[in-house]
Amino acid sequence: MNLIAKKTNISNSFFIFRTLTQNYVKETVNAHEVEHHSNMKEYWWNSNGPLNALHSFNPLRVSFIINGLTNMKKIETKNIGTRQSLENIKILDVGCGGGLLTEALARLDGNVTGIDPSKELITIANDHSVILRNKNIKYFNESIEEHVLSNTESYDAIVTSEVLEHVSNKYGFLTKCVDCLKPGGSLFVTTPNRTICSWLSVIMLGETFNFIPKGTHEWEKFICPHELQSILENNCECDTISINGLSYDPFTNRWSWTDSTDLSYALHAVKST
């Protein structure tokens, strides 16, 4: 009993500390992060290029989103297991970058909007989306705070994949994201964990041996699943449905699901109705 009380005390004090610091940094967009990612515009869509790990991540994260939405009974039965599985589902991709994931979701007939603070990347994404024929895809060059002003509670699903680790004000970012979500809508997050394992593999090995472009990640900004879960459950009225561990093999360039969330994880949460 005593121990539990102590634990709640500690987590409460953490919570107060977090609110204090996070109220201090209001903006969710970091200029230098935007600049760094804008510099990747040359090779963003090159599937053999420096971002090949991001390219090969697509099948896994798309199937995670589809499975999550199927479990929440958002996908019509006739569309399960077809190319139209996201038909009539309104999705917002926050931090879409060049539109790797956005296009995949649009190709499955989702009604997709991508937003990103980098103007260059949005241009790349718009240029590339020409190869999609008759699909619902829109891109806006804005941050989530700007987007939420006109789009409160209007999306069935929100996806922020490999974005949260570049955001300083995670609390503000997540609450704004959830504000865009319809009640009962799903939030999908994939991000690396903050562990020694992720420091070794992402920062030391990944960026030294160029599996990831240098300087992409700051380990201090990574977030642990329980921290993310506590923000979502305490401040955003969300229920966490699942947290799945991810692992990556740089030699075969393949991602797979694992039991351990030490390296990276995918989280699915649902906004309470």
Partner 1 sequence: MYQRLIFISSSRTHLMTNMLSLNSSANRFYLSLGNVANYSSKKYYDIVIAGGGMVGCAMACKLSKESALRGMSILLLEGGPNRKEYDLSAKKNTLDKLYSNRVSAVSKSSVRLLQSIGAWQIIEDLGRNNAVKEMRIWNSGAGRSGGINNVLAFDNVKDLAYIVENDTILGALYKKINEEQNITVNYDTRVNQCNLSDSHRDLATVKVANGEISFETSLLIGSDGYGSKVRSAISGQQYIGWEYGQRAVVATLHIQSDEDNIYKGHVAWQKFAQLGPVALLPLDDKTCSLVWTTSYEEANRLAELSDNEFIDALNDSLSEEKESNNSSLLLADDAAHILANVLNKYCQSNDENKQSKKIKSIPPIVVGVIKDSRASFPLGFGHACQYVGQRVALVGDAAHRIHPLAGQGVNLGFSDVTELSNQLNQSVLTGADIGDLNALLNYQTAAQRHNVPIMLGVDGIQKMYGSKNNLVPPAITTLIRNVGLTICQSTPIIKVCIFKMKLMIIHVYILYV
Question: Is 262 annotated as contributing to ligand binding?
Answer: no
Residues 16-75 that bind partner 1 (CB under 8 A): 21, 24-27, 29-32, 34, 45-48, 55-56, 58-60, 62-63, 66
> What distance in Å separates the CA atoms of residue 151 and residue 135, rounded to the nearest whole number?
21
| Nearest distance, CB of residue 208 and partner 1, angstroms | 23
Residue 39, Cβ neighbours under 10 Å: how many? 14
Q: Which two tokens stand for residue 250?
A: 């740089």
Alpha helices, DSSP H, located in 25-158: 31-38, 52-71, 100-107, 119-128, 144-150
| Nearest distance, CB of residue 70 and partner 1, angstroms | 12
Nearest to 53 by CA among 221, 170, 192, 174: 192
In degrees and rounded to multiples of 5, residue 203 shows phi and psi of: -80, -55
C-beta closer to partner 1: residue 1 or 131: 131
Give 127-195 as a 3 state SS string.
Answer: HHHHHCCCCCEEEECCCHHHHHHHCCCCEEEEEEECCHHHCCCHHHHHHHHHHCEEEEEEEEEEEECCC
122 is a site residue for partner 1 (CB under 8 A): yes
Binding mask 142-181 for partner 1 (x = CB under 8 A): x---x--x------------------x-------------
Question: Contact with partner 1 (CB under 8 A): which of 7, 83, 214, 226?
Answer: 83
| Nearest distance, CB of residue 31 and partner 1, angstroms | 4
| Nearest distance, CB of residue 86 and partner 1, angstroms | 8
Q: Among 82-90, 196-204, 209-217, 257-265, which window interacts with partner 1 (CB under 8 A)? A: 82-90
DSSP run (H or E) holding 247:
strand 238-249
Dihedral angle of Cα 267, 270, 271, 273, to the nearest 10 degrees:
-170
CB 69 within 8 A of CB 202: no
Residues 188-247 that bind partner 1 (CB under 8 A): 220
81 is a site residue for partner 1 (CB under 8 A): yes
Residue 244, beta-bridge partner list: 266
| Nearest distance, CB of residue 81 and partner 1, angstroms | 6
Question: Is 116 annotated as contributing to ligand binding?
Answer: yes
Question: Is 162 annotated as contributing to ligand binding?
Answer: yes
For binding to partner 1 (CB under 8 A), which residues are involved? 21, 24-27, 29-32, 34, 45-48, 55-56, 58-60, 62-63, 66, 81-83, 85, 103-108, 117, 119, 122-123, 126-131, 139-142, 146, 149, 168, 220
Name the binding residues for S-adenosyl-L-methionine: 61, 95, 116, 161
Name the binding residues: 61, 95, 116, 161-162, 165-166
